[in-house]
Amino acid sequence: MTVVRISDDAVALALGADKLAAAFEAAGCTVERTSSWGMHWLEPLVEIDGRGFGPATVADVADILAGTSTKDIGLIAEHPFIAGQQRLTFARAGRTRPLSLDDYAATGGWAGLDRARSMSAEDVVAEVLESGLRGRGGAGFPAGIKWRTVLEAKLRPTQPTKYIVCNADEGDSATFADRMVMEGDPFQLIEGMAIAAHAVGASEGFIYVRSEYPHAIAKLEAAIALAAAKIAPFVLEVRVGAGAYVCGEETSLLNSIEGKRGEVRAKPPLPALEGLFGCPTVVNNVLTLAAVPHILSPGGAALYARLGVERSKGTMPIQLAGNIKHGGLYETAFGITLTELIHTIGGGTASGRPVKAAQVGGPLGAYIPPRQFDLPFDYEAYAKADALIGHGGISVFDDTADMGAMARFAFEFCAAESCGKCTPCRIGSTRGVELIDRLRAPSPAMADAVASLPQMHNAAKAPPSRAESLALLEDLSEVMQSASLCALGGFTPYPVRSALKHWPEDFGGK
């Protein structure tokens, strides 16, 4: 009987994988549901004996089984998009069934945890330090240093437990790597958390997943039940977010798990010392924790440290999204350029029009113009160019994009999602929307909404000039960047400033 493999990742499901799987079953095939290879433009991708057919529809079933399909892409593992990658975190992508413990163990699963548990906590932390692994959530803080801080924290009556918290509140547009790990390889994340628990002496863990990911939540809950005996005495639980983007910030995430408003906490105290319920807590992103089992496997840390450039070590699962022809997940060592990612690998825009901009790092990342596409993918190189890598998501825009509208959206998004605790973010975001509307308004010049209030006796009566509005926008950006409590207010000026700098023509005033 023919064995057909079709992914049950959310992208495949959204493109009709269930109907396709049912059609193959009706045709007498055995259908195995696997994780996704990450070639999203080919989903739903059908795999028979290693050969791929995609994007497949129910109408293609007969041709595929007869061997006459025009959607044949050859051997999947040899496809240039897959063969060009260096997959560590996504080594199992497309190859295993997400909830099969047998598949997981047969592909090296639990080797890292078994080895870690034969080592002292200090040695495990030392290997994570040696690997150079940095937090994949966006800030890029060295994971080993965070773990060491929690390891060295002493338990006392007021702090009776240590916690491992996985930040799976992947709210950035253009990012889906966390979701793919949770849906496609949940045991790897669970293993990473169990290793972290051993390394710092934690007994409980939480995975905080956003409510927009129902499939990831279901897979994780099933996987935790299956792996409970393996990771015991460490216990793990899924907590579901409630639609607040700001809960991706680690301190508001902790408040949310505690059952509070997802407001950001001031730091210090660091969560490593006073985190969840006031106890020492490791808060790491899904990709950080999912990289750990590989690092703890024999020789893993040294291999990881050999990859990458400068202080950006190892591999980064890069997410190619937006208006791109070949979108999906591309894991590779740091140092790759946007030209390679967008043009060579991504095939340019999906619309076939010229690329105008790429936003790297989600809604808080800078818009990068094509003339800067030779920038190497590296935390420090991006910081130097006033940009950020963030969670490794890239949104591509073609030449029809209105960058002024995108800058306005950045402020609008910040206003909608601000937790409201600090003034620069809460009020600055709304003032930013007004400012950009004023800049883009057709003449005559628009009055300032606040200056024209009746109680503003000393404000100028005439509408501000364009130069004054631009100076105010610059001033506002600076205040938000330097005085906001967290990255939401602090980084919103990045997309705004970069859009204004590189595409001033999209801000009116010709």
The residues of the shown chain that bind other proteins, judged by CB under 8 A, are: 10-11, 13-15, 40-41, 43, 170-176, 179, 211-215, 239-245, 256-263, 277, 319-324, 327-328, 350, 359, 362-363, 393, 395-398, 401, 406, 409, 413, 416-417, 419
CB of 425 to other proteins, least distance (A): 15
CB of 245 to other proteins, least distance (A): 6
Nearer to other proteins, 115 or 353 (CB): 353
How far apart (Å, rounded) are the C-alpha atoms in residues 484 and 166? 24
The torsion angles phi and psi of 90, rounded to 5 degrees, stand at: -105, 25
Q: What does the angle CA 287 – CA 154 – CA 295 come to, to the nearest 5 degrees? A: 25
CB of 56 to other proteins, least distance (A): 14
CB of 414 to other proteins, least distance (A): 11
CB of 17 to other proteins, least distance (A): 11
Strand 72-75 versus strand 51-53 pairing type: antiparallel
Token representation of residue 16: 């009709």
Nearer to other proteins, 174 or 296 (CB): 174
How far apart (Å, rounded) are the C-alpha atoms in residues 273 and 147? 11
CB of 407 to other proteins, least distance (A): 11
How far apart (Å, rounded) are the C-alpha atoms in residues 50 and 315? 25
CB of 170 to other proteins, least distance (A): 6
CB of 468 to other proteins, least distance (A): 29
What region, left, alpha or beta, does residue 399 occupy, with left being phi > 0 and alpha being psi -120 to 50 degrees? alpha
Nearer to other proteins, 229 or 242 (CB): 242
Nearer to other proteins, 192 or 346 (CB): 346
Nearer to other proteins, 2 or 400 (CB): 400
How far apart (Å, rounded) are the C-alpha atoms in residues 472 and 347? 40
DSSP 3-state of 382: helix
Nearer to other proteins, 15 or 338 (CB): 15
Torsion angle (degrees, nearest 10) of CA 277, 283, 285, 288: -150
Structural contact between residues 485 and 421, judged by C-beta atoms closer than 8 angstroms: yes
Q: Is the peptide bond before 463 cis (omega within 30 degrees of 0)?
A: no
Nearer to other proteins, 195 or 396 (CB): 396
Q: Which residues of 427-462 are buried (b: 16+ CB within 10 A; e: fewer)?
A: bbbbbbbbbbebbbeeeebbebeeeeeeeeeeeeee
Nearer to other proteins, 14 or 83 (CB): 14
